[in-house]
């Protein structure tokens, strides 16, 4: 490994040489495959790379050094909640009792995991003020689909087939309207009010007998608590529709606001955001869904049940015919849920409330430090994240948010979320989370302020950034015009056959 | 608070900078009517207490059984180097690679994963991963409808029940239809997709079929006539989706070789432990012409401003953040770390090693078949299998429970696998892999012989099959 | 600013008339807003489109946009060059970056389009 900085690596296929792979198991008996019909057999072996274990380790270790990570540095990505992933959770998930358990193993040998999952449902129900929870969805988006399919099932069960629309604010995360489409609904996009919240009158005009439900992110995607939430929920229920809450921003309101108690009918959690399960470079996560009583009959199957004798079991097929069915094979991403469970048990009620208090305090502190240098479109206390804008900077210097973001890389920071939500021009959505020290917050603010200065004195430094990352700006146009999505050998070299 | 750095002093400094007396001021905008009174949760556990509690919970699972259970999730030897790589914080605490300049690690590993699976499947376009095999299969079926603009899919009952159920859930929203293809009831092709039934189902001119979905091996472990199914599909203008098991692709003909347009499957056997159901790895691959229809992230190779080779998420305009309600799928977070596990596993075993895993499983399965037949439980079907098959066991659910009490996880009763198939009422689906030992096989065979002889020794009617016996 | 001999839609498409055939594409302004264009999804020849109906999709690296027909009629030709070189739309939006040719069903529909002056004013107004 280079001591002078991370180095790009050749691909595994380029490292491959015939015969180099490290054998892992004994040689199988000769002729083991002879009983298979020739027509079903593979004619040529797959040209997978052959690398020794030392070469493999070097390859991946060096590649890891090309990555930004929470473990490596500050990651102020708004809407992603890049908090620290506690290491005890990694230990827990790897306990053999959890890791080696087959999902179809009989209930009586799975009592440990079933109890953990059952208890996690209770914990999430209490945190959200909901009656019942499913842990099945593999991600927030799959949770959204699950929730909206339950809304669909609810209306159909009432015999109301006229509910064909889902209302979504134009500031929403793209998964919301995509979910509505997947569930067979038409999305009606509602413009946001100038203060960043929902436009009640626009909602009122759009709500009606065709509305199946609304999807609201609260706090909103600009980090503001929806002050008009009570009126909005009343209006929604008043037309017989249901209210879905996108729980991506739950980190702001733990212990302060319980969506089910406030009147939301269904919501999803992103455990890889609020409950610290690691982001993994893009998953895996989990997207449990909480519902109020009226939707409980429609929860995905199988549910985790506890018997009067205190023993746990999974619902049997067909036991609850009103269920919407399943969205994936088994009961959920249990390996991820173990981590979320450990996190919640480590915090307790006071701990979770402190998480939100500290997250909100840190975001407001950072916003305060940046006001005056960057535009702050919403001039009131934010929750766990806030939007800053480089619109004025762009007008004065030509330097855009994209350039500021890339220059932050040179300063040693991962850029914040940029150009989301779409309702803010040249927006930067910044979410520090509660696990960053005040020194980190101060240093980050100083770096952003420095870049604003550079935009005026040395704009080329900013527009040409990054200069110090392992690679410069990439040619994304060619990548999309002439997609190269897999390694292609120039000459095929097959592996050596054994037995 | 458990893990954050803030002391009361730090908080005081931030409050002072904001000019507010307490953090509660920042929550004043929550209407009083909906302010929570607090949470009723168990008290916080210290790390020591947490560790003790989790160890206790884990100990209440029994993972020491002699297991012959497969049914879509398989025990394999996972070289410890895989977990060593996964434990690098630079990989597991990284975010989605939206900023490619600082994510080349993740991007290259996923590009390599795509390349490895392209080799295994014989299809050139592999998505960066889906949630699991069931979700990937559902999305594959949706792809066939989008690509052909037809609204009906045929799904073989050889595809696992959970996959068919997930497909049904995903089809409900867009109001698409699917028909199940029955399995042949008897004879040499018993337990495989009924080709004549496919022809009949394809024959409705006013209900054209968008795609046919079949699994190789199928849910009963049997090898299917994939070439013939593909031919029938294409002759009717439909696409062909193959549901595959990745280790088997080391030795079985891959989807690309038998004309599949799309491949879906469960990547768990590639270096991912069972974990009671997830996180797993949805494999989804397709031919080049379908690239714009495939949901999920795609990593592409390109160059940077200085001409260096580099990797980037590409064809992004398919995805939800750009297309919103017009996106093919709402997929956002995927299973990136699981894809990394699969890539490291494949690199760690190599092509000959993967073939050895498949061949050893086949050898052990043949030994298992002989031992169980000798114990009085012959196979239910006659066709070829790789490493999983069903055996005939009267009163299978009860026998399974009694074997469990003897420390043997005897696969899964076929009645639980397919509750509404009367032909599968008295069977066990069992499998073997390279981790199955001859001792375990002997233990199973001996115990099964005991159970079968005890059952046969009772007069019929003397002890009815336990009413209300739990069926999963 | 934009070619004076063409007609325009509010959605930034242009039409060049030649008898009863209209050649259609998107304006330089639209191409600039989209950024590097990577794919153009065009209809099959023979398809009938309605005036202002969507006839295709244009994708850039970071955006996607429907294409709306300036006039209704039958699609008689599509620009095959765009499949391999979508960047022609960025480089020569009014020439080699043309997208479809439509046979007009109703010449009166031309009255609904903007002339160059009106389109320039629309763009200037933001």
CA A221 to chain centre: 14
Contact A339, A277 (CB under 8 A): yes
Chain B CB contacts of C61 below 8 Å: 316-317
pLDDT mean over A243-272: 97
Nearest alpha carbon to residue A344 among B2, B272, B210: B2
Confidence of residue B162 (pLDDT cuts 50, 70, 90): very high
Separation of first and last alpha carbons in chain A: 37
Residue A243 C-alpha, separation from nearest chain B C-alpha, in angstroms: 15
Confidence of residue A105 (pLDDT cuts 50, 70, 90): very high
pLDDT mean over B308-316: 93
Name residues 142-171 of chain B within 8 A of A (Cβ). Answer: 160-163, 165-166, 168-170
pLDDT at A359 over 60: yes
**pLDDT at residue C126, rounded to an integer:** 73
Where do the domains of chain C lie, and which CATH numbers do they carry? 7-104 (2.40.50.100)
Contact B280, A108 (CB under 8 A): no
Nearest alpha carbon to residue B346 among A490, A492, A47, A64: A47
Confidence of residue B458 (pLDDT cuts 50, 70, 90): low
Residue B396 C-alpha, separation from nearest chain A C-alpha, in angstroms: 14
pLDDT at A449 over 50: yes
Give the number of residues written for chain C: 126
Residue B8: closest CA among chain A residues belongs to which residue? A358
Which candidate from A103, A182, A351 shows the least CB-CB separation from B276? A103
Chain A CB contacts of B41 below 8 Å: 123, 126-127, 344, 348-349, 352
Instruction: Convert A393-420 into a string of H (helix), E (strand) and C (coil).
Output: HHHHHCCCHHHHHHHHHHCCCCCCEECC
**pLDDT at residue B464, rounded to an integer:** 39
CA distance A499 to C24: 64
Return phi, psi of residue B157, to 5°.
-75, 0
Confidence of residue B322 (pLDDT cuts 50, 70, 90): confident
**pLDDT at residue A422, rounded to an integer:** 80
pLDDT mean over B243-267: 98
Residue B234 C-alpha, separation from nearest chain C C-alpha, in angstroms: 21
Nearest alpha carbon to residue A90 among A346, A344, A336, A282: A336
Q: Please answer yes or no on whether A481 and C39 come within 8 Å at the CB atom.
A: yes
SS3 B216: strand
Nearest alpha carbon to residue B388 among B192, B148, B219, B159: B219
Series of mean pLDDT values for 10-residue runs along chain C (126 residues): 92 94 95 92 94 93 91 96 94 96 93 93 88
CA C71 to chain centre: 10
Nearest alpha carbon to residue B120 among B415, B350, B316, B417: B350
Q: Give the number of other CB atoms < 10 A from CB of residue A458.
A: 11
Contact B92, A280 (CB under 8 A): yes
pLDDT at B52 over 60: yes
CATH number for the segment(s) A88-345: 3.40.640.10
C-alpha separations of B226 from A119, B121, B154 in Å = 45, 14, 14
Contact B302/C at CB under 8 A: no
| Radius of gyration (C-alpha) of chain B in whole angstroms | 26
Would you state the structure tokens that stand for residue A281, as one six-digit string? 């470079």
Chain B CB contacts of A96 below 8 Å: 58, 63
SS3 A167: strand
pLDDT at B49 over 50: yes
Sequence-ordered alpha helix ranges (H) in B122-235: 133-148, 161-172, 195-202, 226-235
Mutate to test the interface with A, among C31, C41, C61, C63 (most CBs of A within 10 A): C61
CA distance A145 to A181: 9
Q: Please answer yes or no on whether B323 and C38 come within 8 Å at the CB atom.
A: no
Confidence of residue B323 (pLDDT cuts 50, 70, 90): confident
**pLDDT at residue A497, rounded to an integer:** 27
Where do the domains of chain B lie, and which CATH numbers do they carry? 66-71+350-456 (3.90.1150.10), 81-345 (3.40.640.10)
Q: Please answer yes or no on whether A42 and B356 come within 8 Å at the CB atom.
A: no
Instruction: Let me know the angle formed at the C-alpha of A5 by A3 and A8, rounded to the nearest 5 degrees.
Output: 115
SS3 B4: coil
Q: Between the CA atoms of B394, B400, B403 and B405, what dihedral angle is there, to the nearest 10 degrees?
A: -140
Which candidate from A12, A32, A328 shows the least CB-CB separation from B131? A328
Chain C CB contacts of B321 below 8 Å: none
Question: CB-based burial of residue B459 (10 Å sphere; 0-12 exposed, 13-18 middle, 19+ buried)?
Answer: exposed
Percentage of residues in chain A having pLDDT higher than 70:
97
B399 Cβ contact list (under 8 Å, min separation 6): B393, B410, B428, B448, B451, B452, B455
Confidence of residue B459 (pLDDT cuts 50, 70, 90): very low
SS3 A469: coil
CA distance A173 to B251: 44
pLDDT at B467 over 60: no
CA distance A413 to A428: 14
Can you tell me which residue has the tokens 């999983």? B388
Q: What is the pLDDT of residues B431-449, one digit of tens each?
A: 999 999 999 999 999 999 9
In B59-168, beta strands by DSSP E: 66-67, 125-126, 152-156
CA A292 to chain centre: 23
Can you tell me which residue has the tokens 């190599």? B350
CA distance B160 to B219: 5
Contact B324/A at CB under 8 A: yes
Residue B314 C-alpha, separation from nearest chain C C-alpha, in angstroms: 8
Contact B326/C at CB under 8 A: yes
Hey, which residues does A312 pair with through a beta bridge? A306
Q: Please answer yes or no on whether C39 and A476 come within 8 Å at the CB atom.
A: no
Q: What is the pLDDT of residues A57-73, one digit of tens each?
A: 999 999 999 999 999 99
Q: Please answer yes or no on whether C39 and A480 come within 8 Å at the CB atom.
A: yes
Percentage of residues in chain A having pLDDT higher than 90:
90
Residue A479 C-alpha, separation from nearest chain C C-alpha, in angstroms: 9
pLDDT at A394 over 50: yes
B8 Cβ contact list (under 8 Å, min separation 6): none
**pLDDT at residue B2, rounded to an integer:** 76
pLDDT at A490 over 90: no
In B257-344, beta strands by DSSP E: 262-266, 282-286, 299-303, 309-313
Q: Which chains touch C (3 or more CB pairs under 8 A)?
A: A, B
C-alpha separations of B268 from B79, B202, B265, B350 in Å = 14, 33, 9, 17
pLDDT at B228 over 90: yes
Nearest alpha carbon to residue C123 among C36, C24, C11: C11
**pLDDT at residue B471, rounded to an integer:** 37
C-alpha separations of C15 from C2, C27, C109 in Å = 12, 10, 12
Q: Which chains touch A (3 or more CB pairs under 8 A)?
A: B, C
Hey, which residues does B227 pair with through a beta bridge? none
CA distance B65 to B72: 18
**pLDDT at residue B465, rounded to an integer:** 40
Q: Please answer yes or no on whether A326 and B165 come within 8 Å at the CB atom.
A: yes
Nearest alpha carbon to residue B254 among B163, B155, B354: B354
C-alpha separations of A398 from A451, A452, A455, B293, B304 in Å = 13, 11, 8, 38, 23
**pLDDT at residue C125, rounded to an integer:** 86
Mean pLDDT, all residues of chain C: 93
Domain boundaries, chain A: 88-345, 355-481
Q: Please answer yes or no on whether B36 and A144 come within 8 Å at the CB atom.
A: no
Q: What is the pLDDT of residues C9-31, one digit of tens each?
A: 999 999 999 999 999 999 999 99
Query: Read out DSSP for A354-395?
Result: HHHHHHHHHHHHHHHHHBTTBB-SS-S--SS-EEEE-HHHHH
Which candidate from B28, B30, B314 shows the least CB-CB separation from A476? B314
The answer to whether domain A88-345 and domain A355-481 are alike in fold is no
Contact C64, B322 (CB under 8 A): yes
Contact B323/C at CB under 8 A: yes
Can you tell me which residue has the tokens 């009592």? A111
* Exposure of A358 in the CB half-sphere (CA atoms within 13 A): 26
Name residues 4-43 of chain C within 8 A of B (Cβ). Answer: 38-39, 41
Q: What is the pLDDT of residues A282-321, one digit of tens each?
A: 999 999 999 999 999 999 999 999 999 999 999 998 999 9
Mean pLDDT, all residues of chain A: 94
Q: Which chains touch B (3 or more CB pairs under 8 A)?
A: A, C
Would you state the structure tokens that stand for residue A143, as one six-digit string? 């949770």
Percentage of residues in chain B having pLDDT higher than 90:
89
pLDDT mean over A239-264: 97
Would you state the structure tokens that stand for residue C74, as one six-digit string? 């039958």
Mean pLDDT, all residues of chain B: 94
Contact A448, A374 (CB under 8 A): yes
CA A347 to chain centre: 21
Confidence of residue A5 (pLDDT cuts 50, 70, 90): low
Tell me how many residue pairs between chain A and chain C have CB atoms under 8 A apart: 15
Question: Is A165 or B322 the better-scoring residue by pLDDT?
Answer: A165
A355-481, what's its fold? 3.90.1150
Confidence of residue B451 (pLDDT cuts 50, 70, 90): very high
Buried b (16+ CB within 10 A) or exposed e, B47-82: eeebbebbeebbebbbbebbbbbbbbbbbbebbebb
Contact C39/A at CB under 8 A: yes
């Amino acid at each position: 490994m280079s001591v002078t900085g991370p180095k790009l690596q050749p691909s595994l296929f380029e490292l491959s040489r015939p015969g180099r792979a490290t054998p892992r198991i004994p040689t199988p008996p000769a002729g083991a495959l002879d009983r298979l019909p020739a027509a079903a057999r593979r004619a040529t072996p797959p040209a997978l790379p052959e690398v020794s274990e030392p070469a493999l380790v070097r390859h991946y270790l060096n590649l890891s050094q090309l990555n930004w990570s929470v473990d490596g540095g500050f990651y102020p990505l708004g809407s992603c909640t890049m908090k620290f992933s506690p290491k005890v959770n990694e230990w827990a998930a790897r306990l053999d009792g959890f890791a080696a358990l087959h999902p179809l193993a009989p209930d009586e040998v799975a009592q440990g995991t079933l109890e953990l999952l059952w208890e996690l449902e209770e914990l999430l129900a209490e945190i959200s003020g909901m009656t019942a929870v499913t842990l099945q969805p593999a991600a927030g988006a799959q949770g959204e689909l699950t929730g909206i399919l339950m809304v669909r099932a609810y209306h159909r069960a009432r015999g109301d087939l006229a509910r064909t629309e889902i209302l979504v604010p134009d500031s929403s995360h793209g998964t919301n309207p995509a979910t509505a489409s997947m569930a067979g609904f038409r999305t009606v996009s509602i413009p946001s009010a100038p203060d960043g919240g929902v436009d009640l009158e626009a909602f009122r005009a759009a709500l009606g007998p065709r509305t199946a439900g609304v999807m609201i992110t609260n706090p909103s995607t600009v980090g503001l608590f929806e002050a008009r939430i009570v009126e909005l929920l009343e209006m929604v229920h008043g037309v017989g529709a249901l209210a879905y809450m996108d729980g991506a921003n739950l980190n702001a309101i733990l212990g302060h606001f319980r969506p089910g108690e406030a009147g939301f009918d269904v919501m999803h959690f992103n455990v890889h955001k609020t409950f610290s399960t690691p982001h993994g470079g893009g998953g895996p996560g989990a997207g449990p869904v909480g519902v109020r009583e009226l939707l409980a009959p429609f929860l995905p199957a199988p549910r985790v049940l506890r018997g009067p004798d205190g023993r746990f079991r999974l619902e049997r097929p067909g036991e609850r015919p009103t269920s919407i069915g399943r969205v994936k094979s088994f009961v959920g991403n249990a390996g991820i849920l173990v981590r979320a469970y450990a996190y919640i048990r480590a915090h307790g009620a006071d701990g979770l409330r402190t998480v939100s208090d500290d997250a909100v305090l840190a975001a407001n502190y950072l916003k305060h430090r940046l006001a005056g240098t960057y535009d702050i479109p919403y001039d009131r206390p934010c929750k766990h994240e806030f939007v800053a804008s480089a619109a004025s900077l762009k007008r004065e210097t030509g330097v855009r948010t994209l350039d500021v973001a890339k220059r932050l890389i040179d300063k040693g920071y991962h850029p914040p979320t940029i150009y989301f939500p779409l309702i803010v021009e040249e927006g930067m959505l910044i979410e520090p989370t509660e696990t960053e020290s005040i020194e980190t917050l101060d240093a980050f603010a100083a770096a952003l302020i420095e870049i604003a200065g550079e935009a005026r004195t040395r704009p080329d430094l900013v527009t040409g950034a990054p200069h110090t990352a392992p690679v410069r700006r990439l040619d994304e146009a060619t990548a999309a015009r002439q997609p190269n999505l897999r390694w292609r050998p120039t000459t095929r070299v097959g592996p050596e056959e054994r037995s | 608070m458990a893990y954050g750095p803030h002391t009361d002093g730090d908080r005081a400094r931030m409050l002072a900078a904001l000019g507010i007396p307490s953090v509660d001021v920042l929550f004043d905008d929550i209407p009083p009517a909906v302010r929570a009174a607090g949470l009723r949760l168990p008290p916080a556990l210290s790390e020591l207490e947490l560790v003790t509690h989790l160890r206790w919970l884990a100990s209440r699972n029994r993972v020491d059984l002699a297991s012959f259970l497969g049914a879509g999730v398989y025990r394999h030897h996972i070289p410890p180097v895989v977990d060593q790589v996964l434990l690098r914080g630079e990989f597991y605490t990284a975010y989605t690679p939206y900023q490619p300049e600082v994510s080349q690690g993740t991007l290259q590993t996923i590009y390599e994963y795509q390349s490895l699976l392209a080799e295994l499947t014989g299809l050139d376009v592999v998505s960066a991963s889906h949630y699991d095999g069931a979700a990937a299969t559902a999305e594959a079926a949706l792809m066939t409808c989008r690509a052909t603009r037809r609204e009906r899919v045929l799904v073989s009952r050889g595809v696992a029940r959970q996959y068919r159920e997930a497909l049904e859930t995903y089809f409900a929203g867009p109001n698409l239809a699917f028909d199940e293809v029955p399995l042949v009831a008897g004879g040499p092709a018993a337990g495989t997709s009924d080709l004549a039934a496919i022809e009949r189902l394809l024959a409705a001119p006013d209900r054209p079929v968008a795609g046919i979905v079949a699994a190789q091996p199928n849910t009963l472990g049997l090898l299917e006539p994939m070439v013939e199914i593909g031919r029938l599909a294409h002759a009717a203008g439909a696409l062909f989706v193959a549901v595959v098991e990745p280790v088997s692709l080391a030795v079985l003909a891959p989807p690309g070789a038998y004309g599949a347009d799309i491949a879906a499957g469960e990547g768990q056997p590639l270096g991912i432990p069972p974990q009671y159901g997830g996180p797993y790895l949805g494999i989804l691959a397709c031919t080049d012409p379908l690239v714009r229809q495939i949901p999920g992230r795609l990593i592409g190779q390109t160059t940077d401003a200085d001409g260096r080779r580099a990797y980037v998420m590409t064809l992004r305009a398919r995805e939800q953040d750009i297309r919103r309600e017009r996106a093919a799928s709402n997929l956002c977070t995927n299973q990136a770390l699981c894809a990394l596990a699969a890539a490291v596993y494949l690199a760690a075993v190599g092509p000959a090693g993967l073939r050895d895993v498949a061949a050893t499983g086949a050898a052990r399965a043949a030994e298992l078949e002989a031992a169980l037949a000798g114990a009085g439980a012959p196979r239910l079907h006659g066709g070829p299998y790789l490493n999983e098959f069903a055996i005939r066991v009267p009163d299978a659910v009860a026998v399974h429970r009694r074997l469990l009490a003897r420390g043997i996880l005897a696969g899964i009763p076929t009645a639980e696998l397919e509750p509404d198939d009367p032909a599968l009422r008295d069977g066990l689906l069992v499998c073997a892999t390279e981790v199955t030992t001859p001792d375990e096989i002997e233990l199973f065979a001996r115990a099964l012989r005991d159970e079968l002889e005890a059952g046969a020794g009772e007069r019929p009617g003397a002890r009815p099959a336990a009413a209300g016996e739990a069926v999963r | 600013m934009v070619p004076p001999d063409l007609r325009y839609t509010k959605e930034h498409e242009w039409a060049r008339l030649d008898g009863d055939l209209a050649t259609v594409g998107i304006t330089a302004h639209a191409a600039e807003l989209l950024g590097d264009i990577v794919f153009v999804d065009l209809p099959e020849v023979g398809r009938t489109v309605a005036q202002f109906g969507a006839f295709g999709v244009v994708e850039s690296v970071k955006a996607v946009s429907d294409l709306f027909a300036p006039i209704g009629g039958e699609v008689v030709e599509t620009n095959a060059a765009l499949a391999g070189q979508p960047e022609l739309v960025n480089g020569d939006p009014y020439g080699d970056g043309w997208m479809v040719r439509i046979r007009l069903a109703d010449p009166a529909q031309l009255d609904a389009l903007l002339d160059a002056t009106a389109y320039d004013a629309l763009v200037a107004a933001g």
